Amino acid sequence: MTHDHDLVLRPTPAQTEAALNSPPGRNGGDLVVETLAGLGATTVFGLPGQHALGMFDALRRSELTYVGLRVENNAGFAADAYGRITGEAAPLLLSTGPGALTSLAALQEAASASAPVLAISSQIPTAGLGGGRHGYLHELPDQAASFRGVVKSVHTVRSQSQIPSAIAAAWKSALTVPHGPVWVEIPQDVLLDATSLPVVTALDATPEELVPRPELTAVAADLLSKAARPAVVAGGGVVRADASGKLLALAERLNAPVVTTFGGKGAFPWEHPLSLQSWLEDRHTTDFLEDADVLLVVGSGLGELSSNYHTFKPRGRVIQIEADLGKLESNHPALGIHADARLALQALLETVDERADEGAADRVREVLAKVRDRIAAQELTLEQDVLASVRRALPAGSPSFWDMTILAYWAWSAFDAKAPNAMHSAQGAGGLGYGFPAALGAAAADRTRPVLAVSGDGGALYSIAELATARQYDLNVTWLIVDDGGYGILREYMTDAFGQATATELTRPDYVALAESFGVPGVRTTPENLETDLSNALAQPGPSVVVLPAVLRMFAPTHLA
């Protein structure tokens, strides 16, 4: 009798021949790149270092495309964006100690945004592992400890035979919902030593599905079907799960208004009659959501930005669908459904009743009109015109990547992403320097369309070195730098709180001349010419820089009242 556990994958004749005729000159690094190729990777990001040279030497014997950035943190941001755009686990190759640690801020952003990144770092030689102080270059007592609080999983390799399994396990972890960054570290000697192991050809790293419990979705469907005033908050989990179509179908069946979080931009059509758009930092939207008798929250933990700085206090029943167990009911009591957004929405579609509500669209229009009136009363025409110019200049199918800057904060609330997975920002972890290197990663993922990066002058200084990367790989990225002479939002915060700002003013370069010194075309524009200059830059192949000298202001907050 044959049992399931007796079944094994038998090698094909070609695999057997390859195993018996392993090419000479291979090392542990070859096992790394062969495993990545076997898992389906095509592009890797990174920065070489002394301990990691075995991996980088192996790249020249592989068909993987390498994109090398100038700073490890920027390489991490590029891998993050590649993962968001493709849904693949983007390999990030790093060296030991300082090189590894420099990537931490990028990995925190990937973790916060559920972007799949497969970070593979070298380590000191095997003899130095275990916490002893041997004095190796780049030595840390426990390098992995620096990453355990940031990434989903940590995998330490100690022999060449462990490399394929460790990387496959990490790949599976990165792509099992919620997606996120993972960490693999391999000692220098393991990477450099010659290997007699056969070429890696067959790997199974199929991600696990997170299926909702049917008794929970049945209760949720009943609550939504009987609701008088249902509403939906759609977060980044909807985008990551590619569940926008299912969300649209459910909202229309329920006649339920939908607001998207800043991480969920594009999850619901902006101009749909049921769309509350993304005005979460507005008391009118907060009041509307509080008045819902059943609120469906999909793929969001209702954190600080998604809850109008924790001023949101729901009065009705909350249903929360969330793949990250740590976020389930972390801010509000709810019917918590631990599941992938796509699978949970499908389950609701199969069981929820159609609900008539002719007044839903009218209530949405009323809220949006109140929002418009509130903004119009603050004399912010410049800011609205600049954002509108960016939207008109950017082709509808092109992705955009926004740094932590005032124009991005406007975009969170007021920018129509036009499509799911098209607008991305660093609002997950909130670090500076994300926009431009992330856009480079997206351009490496898809060279058929232009990509927009938006930074302030403060954030731009984090990424200037990557102009060399953009030129070297001829990546199709237009970088809009809004130059206001400092950290603009911090200037506003400090002036409001203390009457004056400290440490916010910056001496900065001539960004156009600096771009041109890298061989990247640059242009200085004005608010009136922005649409034309940005359109022209986006239409030209390769990298470009558009500099807009302007001091923008934020709309007044509503959470402080």
Least confident of 130-134, 478-482, 497-501: 130-134
Which pLDDT band, with edges at 50, 70 and 90, does 16 fall under? low
Provide the pLDDT for residue 131. Answer: 83
Outline where DSSP puts E strands in 299-422. Answer: 317-322, 335-338, 400-402
| 120 CB-contact burial (10 Å; exposed 0-12 / middle 13-18 / buried 19+) | buried
As a whole number, mean pLDDT of residues 371-393 equals: 97
Torsion, Cα 537 541 542 546, to 10 degrees, reads: 0
Helix pair 381-393, 406-414: axis angle to 10 deg: 70
Q: Could you tell me the CA-to-CA distances from 320 to 227, 274, 287 in Å, in that order?
A: 16, 20, 19
**Average model confidence (pLDDT) across the chain:** 95
What gap in Å lies between CA 4 and CA 2, rounded to an integer?
7
Burial of 165 (0-12, 13-18, 19+ CB in 10 A): middle
Q: Is 525 left (phi over 0), alpha (psi -120 to 50) or beta?
A: beta
CB atoms within 10 A of CB 335: 17
8-22, 360-374, 454-468: least confidently modelled range: 8-22
Greatest distance between any 2 Cα atoms in the chain: 82
Cis omega (within 30 of 0) on the bond before 125? no
Specify the long-range contacts of residues 373-379, CB closer than 8 Å, at least 24 apart: 374/282, 374/284, 374/555, 374/558, 375/555, 378/555, 378/556
Q: Where residue 53 falls among pLDDT bands split at 50, 70, 90?
A: very high
* Distance set, CA 267 to CA 261, 302, 410, 449 (Å): 9, 16, 18, 21
Over residues 134-155, the pLDDT tens digits come to 899 999 999 999 999 999 999 9
* CB within 8 Å of 358: residues ≥ 6 apart: none
